[in-house]
């Protein structure tokens, strides 16, 4: 049997997207620091700099292009996977309650920790970023009235679906997709071709997004090159911003691991009396797959097998909870988006009052529900959180610098949350399902 040589091993290593992103990020920073001697006159920039800006604009525009249809069809497909009204009645309420509960716990954990720790405040906000154009606020968090904020929230949520898609109103997109998906399950027969159409459209959009994600190293190179030049010309605070990014990344990793190693196993133990150590050992395989692929959707077959064969979850429960969770249950993503919003608000010098924190909580939950289960899928909903509190969308480019390494960890926690959910829902619905089956047998 022939073993791969060192050259083949190096090629395999370089094919990893996370490795490519890290190399591209380092190359962009180094070239910006070494090649460019002084600030660039952006009123008459050189041709090579215009080309780099073109690469940056091309990548970010391609990413934004797919946000609306991706969230819309991904969420409809996830809800349509319920399959029947009977499953919706027996499992739906318990499953959705678990999703909302654990997502709320994750966001609360992130927000509490970020106001107690906030390590990036050891360095000042970046003045050159704070002077960027102020983003349009979807909701005026500075109004001081929670009723006014609620009115604005509902007016954005309950809007025409076509208007929501055209205006990239993600709150409206999520609301309409959720209602349409529920109506499809209730009204249409399970063999309706509409379900097949939605599934096929969703697969097409995911394929196109996969092509865009493959351009991530090029986009990161251009983003970091331009970002480094901007920071250098604005006062030479590159080291400060890099330190702030690393502090943010470290906090997110710590909180995500705490949620995955402490909070979720505790929830599983509380409802099922399963030992946390035994649970983590049983979940090792799907968590490793999720870590390596950064995709809860790609991990779904392994998760289904683990739930059925190792966790001994009934097939009826796992086939409902896990596919739906791959779209709607994103604890790690919600935690990341909440912490990222507070971090970027500080970096861009955007004030966050109590109403702003409430908005971050609500929008992080909504954005995580609509996030597709694929690599870097959280970036689609991140703009909803940013716009809700007036943070410029350009901030997404800053997050992309460290998003890939963080994505691997939070995807593992997302998958763990789905599997713990299957255990909890199976335990809570076992008696109800036994009663229903007994009634059917009597008839």
Predicted confidence pLDDT, tens digits, the chain (443 residues):
455 556 666 666 667 777 787 788 888 888 887 876 666 666 677 888 888 888 888 887 887 787 788 878 877 887 777 666 666 777 888 888 899 999 999 999 999 998 888 787 777 676 455 444 444 555 555 555 567 767 777 887 888 888 888 877 777 888 888 889 888 888 888 788 988 898 888 888 888 888 888 888 888 888 888 877 776 665 556 667 778 888 899 999 999 999 999 999 999 999 998 999 999 999 999 999 888 877 787 788 889 899 988 999 988 888 888 888 887 888 988 999 999 989 988 888 888 877 788 888 888 888 787 666 555 566 667 777 877 777 776 677 778 777 777 888 988 999 999 999 999 999 988 765 554 444 434 44
Q: What is the DSSP letter of 135?
A: P
Q: Are 382 and 340 within 8 A, CB to CB?
A: yes
Q: Which of 136, 138, 134, 163 is nearest to 153 (CA)?
A: 138
Q: Are 306 and 283 within 8 A, CB to CB?
A: yes
Q: Which residue reads 């959280």 in tokens?
A: 378
Q: What pLDDT does 110 receive?
A: 92
Nearest-angstrom CA–CA distance, 240 and 246:
10
What is the model's pTM? 0.79
Reading the block at residue 10, the tokens are 């190096």
Q: Are 238 and 231 within 8 A, CB to CB?
A: yes
Reading the block at residue 11, the tokens are 């090629």
Q: Which of 419, 99, 415 is nearest to 272 (CA)?
A: 419
Reading the block at residue 102, the tokens are 């654990």
Nearest-angstrom CA–CA distance, 283 and 31:
43
Q: 168 burial class (0-12, 13-18, 19+ CB within 10 angstroms)?
A: middle
Q: What pLDDT does 432 receive?
A: 59
Q: Which of 197, 185, 157, 158 is nearest to 96 (CA)?
A: 185
Measured N-to-C along each axis, helices 170-187 and 67-80 cross at an angle, to the nearest 10 degrees, of 30
CATH class name, domain 19-437: mainly alpha
Q: Which three-class secondary structure state does DSSP give residue 285?
A: helix
Q: What pLDDT does 232 receive?
A: 67
Domain ranges for the chain: 19-437
Nearest-angstrom CA–CA distance, 394 and 392:
5
Reading the block at residue 366, the tokens are 């909504």
Nearest-angstrom CA–CA distance, 19 and 287:
20
């Amino acid at each position: 049997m022939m073993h791969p040589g060192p050259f083949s091993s190096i090629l395999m290593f370089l094919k990893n997207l996370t490795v490519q992103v890290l190399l591209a990020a380092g190359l962009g920073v180094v070239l910006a620091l070494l090649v460019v001697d002084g600030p660039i006159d952006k009123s008459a920039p050189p041709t090579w700099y215009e080309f780099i800006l073109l690469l940056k604009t091309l990548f970010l525009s391609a990413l934004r292009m797919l946000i609306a249809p991706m969230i819309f069809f991904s969420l409809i497909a996830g809800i349509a996977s319920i399959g029947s009204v009977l499953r919706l009645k027996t499992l739906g309420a318990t499953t959705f309650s678990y999703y909302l509960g654990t997502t709320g716990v994750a966001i609360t954990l992130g927000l509490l920790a970020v106001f107690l720790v906030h390590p990036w405040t050891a360095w000042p906000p970046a003045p050159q970023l704070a002077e960027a154009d102020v983003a349009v606020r979807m909701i005026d968090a500075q109004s001081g009235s929670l009723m006014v904020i609620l009115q604005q929230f509902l007016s954005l949520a309950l809007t025409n679906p076509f208007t929501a898609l055209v205006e990239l109103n993600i709150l409206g997109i999520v609301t309409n997709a959720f209602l349409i998906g529920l109506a499809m399950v209730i009204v249409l027969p399970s063999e309706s071709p509409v379900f097949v159409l939605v599934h096929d459209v969703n697969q097409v959009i995911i394929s196109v997004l996969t092509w865009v994600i493959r351009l991530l190293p090029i986009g990161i190179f251009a983003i970091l090159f331009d970002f480094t030049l901007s920071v250098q010309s604005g006062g030479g605070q590159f080291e400060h911003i890099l330190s702030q990014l690393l502090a943010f990344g470290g906090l997110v990793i710590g909180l995500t691991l705490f949620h995955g190693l402490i909070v979720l196993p505790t929830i599983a133990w509380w409802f099922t009396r399963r030992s946390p150590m035994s649970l983590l050992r049983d979940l090792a395989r799907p968590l490793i797959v999720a870590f390596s692929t950064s995709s809860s959707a790609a991990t779904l077959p392994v998760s289904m097998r683990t739930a059925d064969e190792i966790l001994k979850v009934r097939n009826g429960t796992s086939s409902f909870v896990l596919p739906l969770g791959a779209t709607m249950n994103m604890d790690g993503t919600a935690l990341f988006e909440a912490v990222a919003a507070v971090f970027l608000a500080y970096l861009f010098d955007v004030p966050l009052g109590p109403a702003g924190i409430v908005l971050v909580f609500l929008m992080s939950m909504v954005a995580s529900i609509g996030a597709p289960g694929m690599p870097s899928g959280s970036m689609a909903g991140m703009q909803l959180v940013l716009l809700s509190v007036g943070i410029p969308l350009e901030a997404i480019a800053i997050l992309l610098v460290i998003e890939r390494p963080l994505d691997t960890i939070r995807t593992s926690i997302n998958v763990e949350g789905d599997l713990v959910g299957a255990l909890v829902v199976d335990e809570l619905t076992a008696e109800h399902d036994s009663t229903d089956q007994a009634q059917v047998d009597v008839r």
